[in-house]
Amino acid sequence: MTALGFQPFAVEQYLSETEHGVRFNFSESGVHPMSYAELFTLCDIDKEELFATLVDYPQVNGREILRGHIAALYPNATPENVLVTVGATEANTLVAATLLEPGDNVIRFRPTYEQLAGNAHNLGFEVRSVDLVEDQGWAVDQSALNDAVDDRTRVIHTVNPNNPTGTILSFADRQTIVQAAERVGAWIVADEVYAGTERDTDEATASFWGSCERVIAINSMSKAYGLPGLRLGWLVAPEAMVQAFWRRHEYASIAATMMSMHLAEHALEPAHRNKLTERARRLIRRGFRTLEEALARHEGVFSVVPPQASAMSFVKFALPVDSDTFAKRLLMEEDVLVIPGSRFGVEDHFRFSSALPEDHLREGLERLNRLVDRILG
């Protein structure tokens, strides 16, 4: 906390202060981004047609065709249930600004990506943390969740699959969340940006949409599709709520860009969409195998709950340094960037992203092991 009570976004601050200019960047959470050339080829996009697009404001809530493609991804959703936003980031921000009323509290899981919780805190709301338990495969501490929820709980925020652990909620954990929310009339706000990045199956993680009445599902083009630079995301919510979010969206950004909406429309056509998620899964699966091999070089130093999805692994280490020192030395001495666990409130861990070109990944991991050799002396 700063003197004014403003809580910076610890993970994003670390990234924006360190990631530019670093040679081996393993700090990102998505797969290696696609080039425009690759996107145009994979999605058969006609350049001339796209270049004729006016550099204009698009439909503020999202072009009809785009909202149609998005709605088709959710059971019984219609385009009226969809608001297109500037990334999942804007969706999380709008949700915090719209749903919460004086006296409300928000439940978030730890460790997690704190976009919604941080916004809620900065708006003056109480945020309650419920731990995910590492030696149970990062399962939800169900009794802690039931104890934390009360009549003033307005939002249970879940990131599924999770950032930074890559874990997918078990059926039992999902049920506990749904039951806890229903018991007190809270909204489940499900940030599902890593759905579609599964490692062991080609079946995408099911959305919370449809699990109960009060659900807001958030997603974007950034992770499963490898297109973070489009800055295009969305939320899916009951129609009346979409209207309320839309009113804030007019203040926050007016709209995502015309070009991003057009490109997302091409990318979300079913045949193209499959190609993009296949690309992401290929990078994720190969990258994790390479990471596991490299971590095994130092017996007893590293352990990791294998991520079920996402490009990320939340690696535990047994070394005589804390996570900030480890990450700082890696950056200074080896030009390698990872995120220290301290940024997620968990010591002795770092977040590592491995869905990258193989040679680059291997060379960076060599450097990481070199630092470990030096630390162990």
> What does the binding site for ligand PLP look like in residue numbers (CB under 6 A)?
29, 87-89, 113, 115, 159, 163, 191, 193, 220, 222, 228, 233
Radius of gyration of the chain (CA): 20
Q: Which is nearer to ligand PLP, 29 or 176 (CB)?
A: 29
Please report how close the Cβ of residue 197 comes to ligand PLP at its closest, in angstroms. Answer: 11
Element (H, E) at 144: helix 142-148
Q: Which is nearer to ligand PLP, 85 or 153 (CB)?
A: 85
Name every residue whose Cβ is closer than 8 Å to that of residue 272 and which is 6 or more positions away in sequence: 42, 43, 44, 266
**Helix, strand, or coil here: 329?**
helix
Name the residue whose CB lies closest to ligand PLP.
87
Please report how close the Cβ of residue 223 comes to ligand PLP at its closest, in angstroms. Answer: 7
Half-sphere exposure (CA, 13 Å, Cβ side) for 214?
A: 19
**Among 360, 53, 86, residue whose Cα is nearest residue 232:** 86
Q: Which is nearer to ligand PLP, 95 or 304 (CB)?
A: 95
Residue type, 75: P
Q: Contact 304/349 with Cβ under 8 angstroms?
A: no
Q: Which is nearer to ligand PLP, 90 or 334 (CB)?
A: 90
Q: Which is nearer to ligand PLP, 159 or 236 (CB)?
A: 159
Please report how close the Cβ of residue 349 comes to ligand PLP at its closest, in angstroms. Answer: 16
Please report how close the Cβ of residue 194 comes to ligand PLP at its closest, in angstroms. Answer: 7
d(CA 35, CA 41): 10
Q: Which is nearer to ligand PLP, 58 or 166 (CB)?
A: 166
Please report how close the Cβ of residue 309 comes to ligand PLP at its closest, in angstroms. Answer: 12
The residue to which tokens 């470990």 are assigned: 372
Please report how close the Cβ of residue 305 comes to ligand PLP at its closest, in angstroms. Answer: 18
Q: Would you state the torsion angle of the CA atoms of residues 317, 319, 325, 328, taken in this order, to the nearest 10 degrees?
A: -60
The residue to which tokens 């599924």 are assigned: 160
